[in-house]
Amino acid sequence: MIKYEEGGQMQKADVTIIGAGVNGTVIARELSKYKLKVLLLEKNAEVGLGMSARPAGWIQAGFGWEGVLRNKLIGHGGRMLPQLMKKLDLPLSGEGSLTVGRTKDNGQDLEDLKMLLSGAEYYGIKGLRIIEGKELREMEPNLSREFDIALYAPMEVAFSPWELVIALMENAKENGVEVLLNTKVENIYQNSINDIIIETNRGSIRSRYTVNAAGVWADVIARMVDKNFPPVDSFEGADQWIMDKRARKLVNHVIYDIRVWIGEKRNDSSERLDVPAGFIGGEVDDTLLFSYAPSDRKSERDDLSTSRYSLQRTVPLIKRLLPTFSPKDIIRYFSAVVPIREDFIIGPSKTVPHLINVQMDYPGNTCAPATAKLVTKILANQGLKLVKNSRFDPYRKAIPKIRELSDEKKKELVAGDKRYGHIVCRCEHVSEGEIVEAINRGARTLDGIKYRTRAGMGRCQGGFCSPRVLQILSRELNVPLTEITKRGKGSELLMFKTKELLVKKGNFNE
């Protein structure tokens, strides 16, 4: 808890991290390997409610992306990510991806696929290969015959982007990082090189170093101390759709139309022209996600709305890949906002050298372990002493998922805590035990429960379970139901008790 005490005593820290998305949490965990007082600030009521939870959860091999720093981080990060997932007890699934093209049309697609392959090899990425004809058809029986060549990337497996953020946060907390939710940075200034003052809505912090990992807001934070830091003036985001698990068998791999990475047409100087193309793939939870590229331009930094026409535009793109595709099994859709930049920005502020700015967009999740190492190195270069924390425990255990356990393990779990036998979320088979454990680990809102347990992510989207989850939150946190929110203050779900309005209006005798 930050307190601004009388006499000017503020909360002190060695490193304060602004933003608890995938970058903030992975950096927090990395720093917890050293003897440092680390604070992780998050303006929302839960971690990971920003953009980190939103991308399709597929590890990126590292082809088709632009930017030197980006490609370096994808390569290193992608290699480290599976190990990190294991330590954090997070599942990976799927058979990798296929970027598909056609041999007809003057062979441009094959040229492009080969270019992607050699670009990846340049950055040291091994294991990709070109597939064609019969082998491709066997791998993807539902793929349109129009596509007969593909770049196969077996390492592009699925993971859960929001579970990654939560797991990183939990492990960082276990190792001594203090997480401060509902804490929004309002101003930053430097007293002296080793003394940064961070003013928040809940008091001030005095920190020797600061990491600005505020995502789409990072340039706003950076500009608080340096007006010459380049502002982001355009944002992009794509609508994404999730389909019922019943549709999962449509594809075995993540399928990208080659034009997702490279435009169909080229002008005379061989510049890429963005032409829409679709992609679709299985998520780690066995739902199917589909979307399109290039992304839409968004007008506002916090514009999370989905567009009216995007589905109409996207269905034909997916049908081109998979003629039997039907949008009838859509259970959810959402949108994201990311800053448009040519390359990632990771480095010390020009005016406050102990403030390290981190502003990235896709694929931040794949890069995360490498980003953490890079930021730590930059902090060390700026003089931060790194003394090993001998009590650092890299392992974190996930909340047991009763639906995935064998009969024996199910019985054991229920015998230990009856509440694991009471199924609350009907669609995803989530038990009361899991919901209570999520609250014990810090969930305070309906979305917090949803992201930690999947309750509310199924086909009925919380229609059955949300009244029950609200009751459990109210009971465990000992707060009235009217105070429970969807995702923080301002998103309360139940506004009044019954009869409250009538009493106010004088229509009802108590």
Name the helix (H) or strand (E) containing 69: helix 68-87
Taking the least distance from each CB to another protein, the nearer of 197 and 304 is: 304
Interaction of residue 479 with another protein, rule CB under 8 A: no
Question: Do residues 62 and 460 touch, judged by C-beta distance below 8 A?
Answer: no
* Sign of the C-alpha dihedral computed for residues 367, 372, 376 and 382 taken in this order: positive
Interaction of residue 306 with another protein, rule CB under 8 A: yes
Q: Is 337 helix (H, G, I), strand (E, B) or coil?
A: coil
Taking the least distance from each CB to another protein, the nearer of 373 and 403 is: 403
Question: How many Cβ atoms sit within 10 Å of the Cβ of residue 102?
Answer: 17
Taking the least distance from each CB to another protein, the nearer of 272 and 429 is: 429
Q: Near another protein by CB under 8 A, which window of 76-84, 106-114, 279-287, 329-337?
A: 329-337
Residue bearing tokens 């050298």: 353
Q: Least distance to another protein from the beta carbon of 422, Å?
A: 4
Taking the least distance from each CB to another protein, the nearer of 137 and 486 is: 486
Interaction of residue 504 with another protein, rule CB under 8 A: yes
Distance of alpha carbon 16 from the chain centroid: 21
Interaction of residue 330 with another protein, rule CB under 8 A: yes
Q: Least distance to another protein from the beta carbon of 417, Å?
A: 9
DSSP string, 212-235: E--GGGHHHHHTTT-TTSPPP--E
Interaction of residue 194 with another protein, rule CB under 8 A: no
Distances (CA, A) of 436 to 84, 268, 418, 440, 460: 26, 61, 12, 6, 21
Interaction of residue 498 with another protein, rule CB under 8 A: yes
Q: Least distance to another protein from the beta carbon of 183, Å?
A: 17
Taking the least distance from each CB to another protein, the nearer of 89 and 492 is: 492
Interaction of residue 407 with another protein, rule CB under 8 A: yes
Interaction of residue 421 with another protein, rule CB under 8 A: yes
Name the helix (H) or strand (E) containing 208: strand 203-212
Among 104, 249, 411, 475, binds another protein (CB under 8 A): 411
Among 93, 182, 190, 471, binds another protein (CB under 8 A): 471
* Sign of the C-alpha dihedral computed for residues 245, 251, 252 and 253 taken in this order: negative
Among 467, 477, 479, 483, binds another protein (CB under 8 A): 467
Interaction of residue 499 with another protein, rule CB under 8 A: yes
Interaction of residue 139 with another protein, rule CB under 8 A: no
For residue 368, give the nearest of 83, 1, 34 by alpha carbon: 83
Residues 6+ apart with CB under 8 A from 431: 402, 419, 420, 421, 422, 423, 424
> What order of strands is seen across the sheet that includes strand 240-243?
129-132, 149-153, 97-101, 254-257, 277-282, 288-293, 240-243, 330-334
Distance CA 257, CA 183 (A): 42
Distances (CA, A) of 428 to 58, 159, 414: 22, 17, 18
Taking the least distance from each CB to another protein, the nearer of 243 and 438 is: 243
Among 272, 301, 419, 441, binds another protein (CB under 8 A): 419
Interaction of residue 301 with another protein, rule CB under 8 A: no
For residue 132, give the nearest of 114, 120, 155, 119 by alpha carbon: 114
Interaction of residue 415 with another protein, rule CB under 8 A: yes
- Residues 246-265 vs another protein: string with x where CB under 8 A? x-------------------
- Residues 96-115 vs another protein: string with x where CB under 8 A? --------------------
The reply to whether omega before 323 is within 30° of 0 (cis) is no
Q: Near another protein by CB under 8 A, which window of 68-76, 81-89, 178-186, 327-335?
A: 327-335
Q: Near another protein by CB under 8 A, which window of 154-162, 283-291, 352-360, 478-486?
A: 478-486
Binding stretches for another protein (CB under 8 A) = 246, 302, 304-308, 310-311, 330-334, 402-403, 407, 410-411, 414-415, 418-423, 426, 429, 431-432, 459-464, 466-467, 470-471, 481-482, 485-502, 504-505, 507
